[in-house]
């Protein structure tokens, strides 16, 4: 990881020297010299791509380089932060600090010169260690995105059909008494995969009124378990967050007692936790079921001593080869060359029937040239006989074969808790803020990051949790054994640490810290942690963050680049927020804050800002002071100032802007956002309708548009403008609460590039929805949510590209369009939530006509909640 650490600092210095060189006044020459030394060191370190050294002296050499880079980073970041702070002082303060500035510059210059000397000395010492440069640097494989997406239903699962059938029969059959199904097996054998396969079976879904998936893991306490289950089956209120265990048990018992529920407790480690929690699920006579997965047989027998646990078996040699070949040769290939087949079977056999080992090793083979030479090397590599050690060895092998550009992205998963479902959008923005992702050949950083995530998924190191309507990755997770690998590798390189408890915790010497408790607890024990650059807080009971607490947070973490306090309820957002001048990523949630300070726009480095604060109304933001901003998300009406004429205003990096008030949609604002891709507008749409739609056309890169009316404005939008023009690249539109009286489908159907359309929450108040002939030629996904329509018609030659239809809470709808049965041969997916009987029968008729292989039909009548966080 030393090469990555050097690369991050080199990138930051290059940016400072090219864009903000005035911040380095007095030390510019020294910083340029340091940048040159870093460039040489970076090129040198990259020659060791994929190498693993056992010699302590060589590993110590790389550690010295890493530590020296961190020291240089601290010196420069502290200096730049002080320069920016002094710029904000009044006249008297500036006069007083002039002498201090001169002394500071001299000291910083001397420090940088000393660091440069030590870099040169380390570089010279490589000869003494007999570490020589190869003749040429290793090339990176920057292949284009393959377009392959991993199916969320895990269609490549092998050997589980009969086991899934047995578990399903126990869930839907039997008596009304509560029954507990236990699944036992070692890590990586497929316990969670089997449980999810059953949990997502439509037959199972429709037998239970409430479903919840809870990841228990090793460290979860009773309090955490109670709150997580509550979060799964109902809304976890602020009042509940402050309750004790006894009160939570009463609430949960009352909820579960009256419902037929299915709850999965995944990865249970302690019998004590089950004994403490079993009273929650008792006394249910509605046919409820619980699935418990565990590695420990004793736990399974304690949970249900009457019926033996379901013991997971290892794959056979044939099943191992089938799974490996499916992963290495995905559709449309699905065929292993004959000259590799025998070698492939030998490689599969080496995995000893352990599914995780098979798929991870398949990920290595997938990304390498499929040659006899390489496959022979893998097939003849000695592995340990014990399945547990074998799996760890194969996981380590997969990491050693990762390109250096993917390593920090993979290790970053160690910052998140076990079994945590990570939103892909959030992960990508974090990677970019951390400096892991660079634009490449005109491809924006977000698209490059998406390619990296796809690559990690293809390598079977990361799992897809949920997918978006358009097939993109919505969320992902990592297997706990692979997460353990991330943490062990990352801690060795001082890359990151994750802490679930503060007890007996030593100060963190890593650059990144993930914690499962209130960060204020850390600041109380360790008031200064300026070396930490990223802080992510998780948990369900993180308490409050007051104005006084913010001061402690700043004193401890002065140089943060990433601050994610999503798990903490922020009482107020202070005007001093701009003291975190190095921030690139800020994510906050505040149920009580009344104002969003304008000083937040002084964070000139900020790339991503996400704030959920329902009590803040129409904050005024001067985004033109934030040239690095790429993504802004606010859940209300942000009012944007007009750009000033006396300074460059264009926000060339801005891609996401949501939500802003309709009166902010001016020509002056939009013309200075040339690369905006996603726009959300929330407020009085009818009053500013003409302004909004007139200026939308200037957003030439816009692909995603969401329009939502604020309910406090009584005037409905009634209809779309007579002359309706949209940006040419627009592919997705969402209308919510617009209360249109005129059917919008005629005008929207003229958008020839539209691929995804969502009408939700009273977007249209009429009773009939009509799609005229030849409309929506490229529409692939249609979502109708909470509408009062009773009739829906699709004319011939309309929606000819439609693949997916999602209908949710449209109870007045009496039938589905006949065109779905007769005209739309492209339809692949039909999902209905709470449909009336006639619509459900109509959907089944379409399924019978098209066949279950062509059409995937899902009908849900129950609550469905999954503990993603």
Instruction: Please give the average per-residue pLDDT across 375-404, as a whole number.
Output: 85
pLDDT at 191 over 90: yes
The distance of Cα 272 from the centroid of its chain, to the nearest Å, equals: 33
Residue 818 contacts residue 792 (beta carbons within 8 Å):
no
Rank 37-41, 436-440, 546-550 by mean pLDDT and report only the highest. 436-440
Percentage of the chain with pLDDT > 90?
Answer: 47
Number of H helices, E strands in the chain: 28, 29
Average pLDDT value for the chain: 85
- For 154, other C-beta atoms within 10 Å of its C-beta total 16
- For 248, other C-beta atoms within 10 Å of its C-beta total 21
Burial of 10 (0-12, 13-18, 19+ CB in 10 A): buried
Residue 763 contacts residue 787 (beta carbons within 8 Å):
yes
pLDDT at position 138, please? 40
pLDDT at position 46, please? 65
Residue 682 contacts residue 637 (beta carbons within 8 Å):
yes
Burial of 719 (0-12, 13-18, 19+ CB in 10 A): middle
User: For the segment 833-852, what is each residue's pLDDT rounded down to a tens digit?
Assistant: 889 889 999 898 888 888 88
User: For the segment 56-99, what is each residue's pLDDT rounded down to a tens digit?
Assistant: 666 777 788 888 888 888 888 888 887 777 765 544 444 445 55
Reduced to 3 states (helix: H, G, I; strand: E, B; else coil), residue 637 is strand
Using pLDDT thresholds of 50, 70 and 90, give the confidence band for residue 525: confident
pLDDT at position 133, please? 43
- For 190, other C-beta atoms within 10 Å of its C-beta total 27
C-alpha 602/C-alpha 784 separation (Å) is 41
Using pLDDT thresholds of 50, 70 and 90, give the confidence band for residue 219: low
C-alpha 45/C-alpha 58 separation (Å) is 12
Using pLDDT thresholds of 50, 70 and 90, give the confidence band for residue 591: confident
Instruction: Please give the average per-residue pLDDT across 333-352, as a whole number.
Output: 89
DSSP character at residue 761: S
pLDDT at position 618, please? 92
Alpha-carbon distances, residue 534 vs 151, 404, 577 (angstroms): 33, 21, 16
Radius of gyration of the chain (CA): 29
pLDDT at 463 over 60: yes
DSSP 163-180: HHHHHHHHHHSS-SS-EE
DSSP β-bridge partners for residue 832: 807, 859
Per the confidence metrics, is the pTM higher than 0.85?
yes
User: For the segment 237-261, what is each residue's pLDDT rounded down to a tens digit?
Assistant: 778 877 888 888 888 888 888 888 9
DSSP 355-368: HHHHHHHHHHHHHS
């Amino acid at each position: 990881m030393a090469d990555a650490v050097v690369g991050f600092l080199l990138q930051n210095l290059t940016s400072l020297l090219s864009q903000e060189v005035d911040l380095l006044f007095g030390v510019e020459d020294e910083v340029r010299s340091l940048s040159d030394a870093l460039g040489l060191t970076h090129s040198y370190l990259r020659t060791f791509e994929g190498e693993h050294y056992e010699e302590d002296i060589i590993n110590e050499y790389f550690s010295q380089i890493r530590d020296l880079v961190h020291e240089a980073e601290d010196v420069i970041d502290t200096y730049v932060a002080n320069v920016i702070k002094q710029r904000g002082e009044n006249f008297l303060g500036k006069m007083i600090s002039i002498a201090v500035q001169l002394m500071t510059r001299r000291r910083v210059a001397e420090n940088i010169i000393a660091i440069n000397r030590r870099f040169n000395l380390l570089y010279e010492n490589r000869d003494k260690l007999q570490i020589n440069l190869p003749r040429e640097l290793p090339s990176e494989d920057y292949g284009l995105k393959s377009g392959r997406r991993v199916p969320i239903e895990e269609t490549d699962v092998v050997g589980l059909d009969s086991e899934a059938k047995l578990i399903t029969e126990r869930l839907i059959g039997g008596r009304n008494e509560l029954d507990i199904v236990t699944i036992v097996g070692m890590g990586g054998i497929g316990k969670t995969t089997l449980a999810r396969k059953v949990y997502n079976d439509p037959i199972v879904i429709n037998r239970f009124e409430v479903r919840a998936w809870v990841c228990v893991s090793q460290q979860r306490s009773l309090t955490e378990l109670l709150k997580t289950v509550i979060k799964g089956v109902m809304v976890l209120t602020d009042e509940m967050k402050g309750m004790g265990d006894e009160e939570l048990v009463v609430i949960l018992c009352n909820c579960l007692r009256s419902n037929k529920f299915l709850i999965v407790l995944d990865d249970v480690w302690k019998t004590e936790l089950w004994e403490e929690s079993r009273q929650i699920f008792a006394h249910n006579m509605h046919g409820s079921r619980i699935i418990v997965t565990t590695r420990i047989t004793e736990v399974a027998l304690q949970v249900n001593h009457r019926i033996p646990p379901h013991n997971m078996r290892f794959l056979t040699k044939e099943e191992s080869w089938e799974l490996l070949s499916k992963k290495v040769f995905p559709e449309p290939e699905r065929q292993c060359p004959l000259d590799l087949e025998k070698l492939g079977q030998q490689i599969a056999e080496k995995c000893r029937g352990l599914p995780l080992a098979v798929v991870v090793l398949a990920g290595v083979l997938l990304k390498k040239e499929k040659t006899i030479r390489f496959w022979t090397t893998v097939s003849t590599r000695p592995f340990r006989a014990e399945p547990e050690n074998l799996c760890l060895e194969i996981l380590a092998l997969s990491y050693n074969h990762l390109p250096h550009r993917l390593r920090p992205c993979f290790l970053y998963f160690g910052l998140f808790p076990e079994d945590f479902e990570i939103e892909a959008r959030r992960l990508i923005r974090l990677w970019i803020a951390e400096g892991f992702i660079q634009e490449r050949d005109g491809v924006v950083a977000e698209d490059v990051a998406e390619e990296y995530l796809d690559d990690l998924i293809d390598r079977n190191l990361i799992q897809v949790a949920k997918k978006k309507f358009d097939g993109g990755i919505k969320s992902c997770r990592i297997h706990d054994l692979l997460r353990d690998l991330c943490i062990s590798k990352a801690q060795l390189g001082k890359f990151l640490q994750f802490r679930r408890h503060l007890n007996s915790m030593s100060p963190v010497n890593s650059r990144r810290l993930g914690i499962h408790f209130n960060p204020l607890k850390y600041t109380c024990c360790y008031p200064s942690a300026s070396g930490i650059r990223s802080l992510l807080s998780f948990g369900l009971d993180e308490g409050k963050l007051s104005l006084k607490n913010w001061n402690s947070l700043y004193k401890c973490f002065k140089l943060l680049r990433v601050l994610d306090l999503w798990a903490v309820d922020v009482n107020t957002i202070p005007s001093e927020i701009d003291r975190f001048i190095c921030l690139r990523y800020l994510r906050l949630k505040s149920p009580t804050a009344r104002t969003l300070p304008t000083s937040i726009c002084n964070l000139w480095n900020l790339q991503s800002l996400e704030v959920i604060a329902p009590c803040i109304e129409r904050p005024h933001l001067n985004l033109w002071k934030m040239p690095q901003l790429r993504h802004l998300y606010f859940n209300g009406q942000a009012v944007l100032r007009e750009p000033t004429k006396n300074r460059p205003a264009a926000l060339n990096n801005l891609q996401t802007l949501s939500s802003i008030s309709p009166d902010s949609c001016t020509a002056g604002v939009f013309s200075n956002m040339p690369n905006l891709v996603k726009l959300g507008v929330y407020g009085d749409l009818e009053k500013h309708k003409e302004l909004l739609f007139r200026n939308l056309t200037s957003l030439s890169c816009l692909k995603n548009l969401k329009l939502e009316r604020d309910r406090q404005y009584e005037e409905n939008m009634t209809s779309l403008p007579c002359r309706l023009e949209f940006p040419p690249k627009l592919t997705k539109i969402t209308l919510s609460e617009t209360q249109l009286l005129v059917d919008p489908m005629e005008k929207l159907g003229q958008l020839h590039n539209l691929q995804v359309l969502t009408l939700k929450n009273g977007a249209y108040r009429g009773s009939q929805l009509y799609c005229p002939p030849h409309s929506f030629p490229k529409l692939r996904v249609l979502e109708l949510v909470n509408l009062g329509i009773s009739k829906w018609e699709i004319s011939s030659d309309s929606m000819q590209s439609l693949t997916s239809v999602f209908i949710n809470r449209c109870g007045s709808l009496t039938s589905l369009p006949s065109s779905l049965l007769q005209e739309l041969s492209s339809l692949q997916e039909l999902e209905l939530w709470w449909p009336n009987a006639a619509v459900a029968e109509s959907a089944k008729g379409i399924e019978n006509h098209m066949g279950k292989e062509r059409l995937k039909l899902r009908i849900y009548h129950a609550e469905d909640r999954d503990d993603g966080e």
